[in-house]
Structure 1
Amino acid sequence: MPSKLKLSAITLDCPDPLALAAFYQQATGLEPHPRSDADFAGLTGEHGLFLGFQRVADYRPPRWPDQSVPQQFHLDFDVDDLDEAEARLLALGASRPEHQPSEHWRVLTDPAGHPFCLVTKG
């Protein structure tokens, strides 16, 4: 039987790795990686998942829901209360696109323009 793959890291392109890492650190409570710098920053989780942020010259943020600059992927976060989570993340610097595809989840964008979803369990 082939060995299983274990997801160990997700890395996002961005113009400012330290700023985007700070946003996600405040949003998730993940711990900053000690070797983060201006070109590559990271956060680590309790189960070993690493969330990285790498500087990209001439970065162009995704245009959601317009696909002229496609999102390519997005992150989903489980929350207990959509309104509370949205308000907290907007205060941290997230934005809320006008287009919302469902009343059962919320689409926000991080400070670098990456879309992500807030989803309630159940």
Structure 2
Amino acid sequence: MTEPVGRLGSVALDCKDPRALAAFWTAILGAQTTVETDDFCAVDLGALLLVTVGVPDHQPPTWPGGTPKQFHLEVAVTDLDRAERRALAAGATKAADQPNPDRWRVLLDPAGHPFCLTTLIPA
């Protein structure tokens, strides 16, 4: 194994409103926003930051076609129904296409980024 160049320090999500998107993800992940400006927020996840970046002409990705899909996040949970209810209450919306709802629930964050709640990854 070769020596790594570095470690993944953050994952950045483009959006129109960084503060609102950071607030959403802090509620979903039980985290804390450590940097907060109108253009950039950082949600501290321990060894990783989830960064929300303001982009004036941001266009939300679509699911499942991906126009323009950047990527999606997988959130490990122990109870899909409970996690879905909490995510919806925090501001998520449920995607129309649910390819395997017994294992994954596809939701969209307030900026339109798809993410999955799943029991396939240890919580």
TM-score in terms of structure 2 length: 0.90
User: How many Å separate the matches in 2 of 1:70 and 1:57?
Assistant: 15
User: How many Å separate the matches in 1 of 2:87 and 2:3?
Assistant: 38
Please state whether the residue corresponding to 2:51 is helix, strand or coil.
strand
User: How many Å separate the matches in 1 of 2:104 and 2:120?
Assistant: 10
Partner of 1:30: 31
CA shift digits 1:22-72 (9 cap, x unpaired): 000011011111x310100111122x21110000011100011133x2322
Q: 1:43-122 residue pairs with structure 2 within 5 A?
A: 43-46=43-46, 48-67=47-66, 69-102=67-100, 103-121=102-120
Tell me by how many angstroms 1:17 deviates.
0.1
Does the Cα contact within 8 Å between 1:15 and 1:57 map onto a contact in 2? yes
User: How many Å separate the matches in 1 of 2:62 and 2:45?
Assistant: 28
**Paired positions, count:** 119
Gapped regions of structure 2 (runs ≥ 5): none
RMSD (Å), alpha carbons:
1.4
Q: Which amino acid aligns with 1:76?
A: E
Does the Cα contact within 8 Å between 1:25 and 1:32 map onto a contact in 2? yes
TM-score in terms of structure 1 length: 0.91
Q: Which amino acid aligns with 2:41?
A: A
Q: Which amino acid aligns with 2:80?
A: L
CA shift digits 1:64-110 (9 cap, x unpaired): 1133x232210001100000000000011100011101131110000
User: How many Å separate the matches in 2 of 1:49 and 1:104?
Assistant: 25
CA shift digits 1:5-31 (9 cap, x unpaired): 421110100000000000000110111
Please state whether the residue corresponding to 1:112 is helix, strand or coil.
coil
Range that drifts further, 77-86 or 96-105: 96-105
